[in-house]
Amino acid sequence: MSVILSHNTALWAIRTLRAEGANFGLWTDFGVVERSLPWIGKHWSVREFASSEWRWPEPSAACELHVLVPPKHEIRMHHVHSHVCGGDLSAQSILSLDGHAGVVCPELLFVQMAETLELAQLVMLGYELCGTFTRFANRPMDGPVVDHVCPATTVDGIRQYLNQGTRVRGTKRARLALAYVRDGAASVPEAKLATMYELPSEEYGYGLGPITLNKRVGVNKTRGSLKRGERFPDILFSFAPIGINYDGEKDHLDLDGLTRLASAAALADDESSADAKKALAKKRRNLRNKAVDDMHRDRELLCEGLVVLRATKEDVNGIGRLDNFTRQLLRCAQVYFGVDVSQYEKTLDDSELRSNRYDLWQSL
C-alpha cells in the first residue's frame, strides 16, 4: 500500500517529523502522484493500517485520514477523505516517507490548508512552517511546543512554489496570507505577535508591518570596547528603529522551577541534601545571569539606535493589555523618532475593532 498524506494528516506528519529532527531543506527523496496508485480497483479496510510498519494516523471517527488522489480514483472507505488533484504537480510536490506513504511538501501543504483555515490561522501556520518551532502533532493547541527545529520551508520557497503555475485549490488565499508571513519565528508567542502586527486593521490586526524577526544586529559587548557581538531582537518594525523582545517565563524568569528546587532542597534528607542545594544554587545563578544578560542586551541595542521594549505574558494576555503595550510602543516611536502614529492610534481607539482584535488574539 502506498498513499499520499494530505491536508490535516500531512500537517500531523510534518509536525511529527520536524519534532524528530527532520530537515526538509535537505530532503532529496521525492515522488509523483502517479507512483502511488496501488489502491486503484481495490477495496480498503482497517486491516490495511494494522501493520506495525504503518506509523502514520489510522483512519477513525475521531481523526479522518486525508489523502491526495488522482481524478476518478477516490478511496472509498469510512473515515478516509480523498482530495482529488486535478492539476499537474511538480516532481518536488510529494516527499517519499517510506514504502507505505508519501506526504505533500510543506509548500503544497500551506496552499491546501488555505481551503479550511481562517486567514489569521493560515498566517500563523506560515510562521510555524517558516520558523524554528513546531506544535505538538497530537495536541496542537495545548500540547508542548518543540523549539530549535529546522524550518520546514521559507517565505521565498512558498512564493516560488505558488509562482510555478500549478493549479491547486487555495492558491489565491495562500498568496494573500503569505504577504503577512515572515521567516525566522522562534516561538509561538513571537508568531502570535507577528501575526497581530502584520495583519491590517480590516483583518483585526494592528497594521504595523512589515516586520523582521530575529534579525542579526551587531553590538559593542562592553563599553569602550572594540569587540563586537551579536543580538537578535525578536521583532523589529520598519516604520521606526523600534522593536520587541518577548521574555517568556521559562527562559527568562523560571520562578516555578526555582520554587520546585527550593522545596526539594528543604525536604532533602542528609544523603541527597548536598546535591539538592547544589542544583538550587545553580538555578539561582542561571536566573541571575539571564537577568543581567537581558539588561546588557537592552543597553547594547539602545547604543545601536534601537529601542527594543520587553514584553511579558502579563503585557499581552488579557483584555486590552496588548493594546496598551502597543500604545506605549507607538508613543516611543513618536517621542524618540518623530513618527506620525495618528493612523495607528485610530485603529486602537475603535471600540469594535478592539473587541474583534482581542477575540482574534485569543483564537491564535
Give residue-wise pLDDT tens across range 280-317: 777 777 777 778 888 888 999 999 999 999 999 899 99
pLDDT tens digits for range 50-98: 666 778 888 888 888 898 887 777 777 778 888 888 667 877 888 988 8
C-alpha grid cell, residue 5: 498524506
In 3-state terms, what secondary structure has residue 65? strand
In 3-state terms, what secondary structure has residue 162? helix
State yes or no: cis peptide before 71, omega within 30 of 0. Answer: no
* Mean pLDDT across 94-107: 88
Residue 259 burial (CB count, 10 A): 11
Q: Which residues pair with 134 in a beta bridge?
A: 146
Of the listed ranges 16-20, 142-146, 211-215, the one predicted with least confidence:
142-146
In 3-state terms, what secondary structure has residue 239? coil
**Element (H or E) spanning 104, and its range?**
strand 101-104
Residues with Cβ within 8 Å of 233's Cβ and at least 6 positions away in sequence, in order, are 214, 215, 217, 243, 244, 245, 301, 306, 308
Only one residue has cell 529532527, namely 21
Where does residue 121 rank: exposed (0-12), middle (13-18), buried (19+ CB within 10 A)? middle
Region of 36 on the Ramachandran plot (φ > 0 left; ψ -120 to 50 alpha; else beta)? beta
Q: What letter represents residue 203's amino acid?
A: E
Q: Report the pLDDT value the prediction gives residue 36, as an integer from 0 to 100.
A: 44
Q: Is 145 within 8 Å of 18 (Cβ atoms)?
A: no
Higher pLDDT, 183 or 26: 183
Q: Is 162 within 8 Å of 108 (Cβ atoms)?
A: no
In 3-state terms, what secondary structure has residue 290? helix
Higher pLDDT, 284 or 253: 284
Is residue 165's pLDDT more than 90?
A: no
Where does residue 236 rank: exposed (0-12), middle (13-18), buried (19+ CB within 10 A)? buried
**Dihedral pair phi/psi, residue 277, rounded to 5°:** -70, -35
Q: Is 15 within 8 Å of 133 (Cβ atoms)?
A: no
Q: Report the pLDDT value the prediction gives residue 98, as an integer from 0 to 100.
A: 81
In the structure, what pLDDT confidence band is assigned to residue 269 with cuts at 50, 70 and 90? Answer: low
Is residue 250's pLDDT more than 80?
A: no
Residue 197 CA from chain centroid, whole number = 15
**Cα(63)–Cα(68) distance, integer angstroms:** 16
Closest by alpha carbon to 58, among 79, 37, 84, 36? 79
C-alpha grid cell, residue 225: 570596547
Q: Report the pLDDT value the prediction gives residue 3, as an integer from 0 to 100.
A: 83
* Mean pLDDT across 7-20: 95
Higher pLDDT, 54 or 1: 54
Higher pLDDT, 51 or 137: 137
**Dihedral pair phi/psi, residue 221, rounded to 5°:** -75, -35
Residues with Cβ within 8 Å of 176's Cβ and at least 6 positions away in sequence, in order, are 119
Where does residue 326 rank: exposed (0-12), middle (13-18), buried (19+ CB within 10 A)? buried
Q: Is 119 within 8 Å of 362 (Cβ atoms)?
A: no
Q: Is 99 within 8 Å of 2 (Cβ atoms)?
A: yes
Closest by alpha carbon to 243, among 227, 231, 228? 231
Is residue 34's pLDDT more than 60?
A: no
Is residue 225's pLDDT more than 60?
A: no
**Cα(277)–Cα(196) distance, integer angstroms:** 43
Only one residue has cell 486590552, namely 320
* Mean pLDDT across 160-180: 90
The overall average pLDDT reported for the chain is 86
Closest by alpha carbon to 158, among 147, 149, 166? 166
**Element (H or E) spanning 145, and its range?**
strand 145-147
Q: Report the pLDDT value the prediction gives residue 261, as an integer from 0 to 100.
A: 67
Residue 226 CA from chain centroid, whole number = 36
